[in-house]
Structure formats: structure tokens, C-alpha cells
């Protein structure tokens, strides 16, 4: 599903109550707050859906796929997701 499709679903569900512009603002607000919570608290949990957590990757050796040259990959942070049991059961 794309962002545009998600906005369209929000608009269709609340047809007559919200405009497409307002539906787009609602979607943006949800994801901005989700990202802010993950940044601040290092996790975001939504019961019945799952938990987003910040994960740390250690520095490691790697290879340039074009040249085969050995390189060092810096340590980095990423976001991991663990699905809730209720969500997994719906799949």
C-alpha cells in the first residue's frame, strides 16, 4: 500500500466528514508522532499491532560489491518492528 492509497482509504472511510486534504494531514500527523515517539523513547507500542524499537548495529567489515575492496561499515541505528500476536494471527 502506498501513501496515496492510505490517504484514499482514510478519505473513503470518513467520506463527507473529512476532505482529502484533511485525510492527508491526519496520516502525516500520525507518522510524525510515531517517528517522534521512537526518537524520544526509543520505542513505540500499539496494542494488537506491534512494537517499533530502535536497534543498534555494530561496526563491521564489508566489501565494495563493484571492486571487491574491503571497507569498514560504521555503526548505525535502525528501527525494528515486532508484530503483536493478534496481528500475526490475522495474517
Q: What does the pLDDT look like over 12-61, one tens digit per residue?
A: 998 878 899 999 999 999 999 999 999 999 999 999 999 999 999 999 99
State the architecture of 42-60+69-91 in CATH terms: Irregular (4.10)
DSSP structure class, residue 47? T
For residue 54, give the nearest of 31, 80, 34 by alpha carbon.
80
For residue 35, give the nearest of 27, 43, 46 by alpha carbon.
43
Task: Write down the pLDDT at residue 15.
Answer: 80
pTM of the entire predicted model = 0.75
For residue 51, give the nearest of 22, 24, 80 by alpha carbon.
80
Q: Break the chain into its structural domains and give their ranges.
A: 1-41, 42-60+69-91
Amino acid at each position: 500500500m502506498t501513501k496515496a492509497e492510505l490517504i484514499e482509504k482514510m478519505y473513503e472511510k470518513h467520506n463527507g466528514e473529512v476532505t482529502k486534504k484533511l485525510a492527508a494531514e491526519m496520516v502525516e500527523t500520525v507518522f510524525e508522532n510515531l517517528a517522534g515517539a521512537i526518537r524520544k523513547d526509543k520505542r513505540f507500542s500499539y496494542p494488537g499491532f506491534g512494537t517499533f524499537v530502535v536497534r543498534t548495529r555494530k561496526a563491521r567489515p564489508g566489501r565494495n560489491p563493484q571492486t571487491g575492496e574491503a571497507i569498514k561499515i560504521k555503526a548505525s541505528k535502525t528501527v525494528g518492528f515486532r508484530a503483536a500476536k493478534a496481528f500475526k494471527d490475522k495474517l
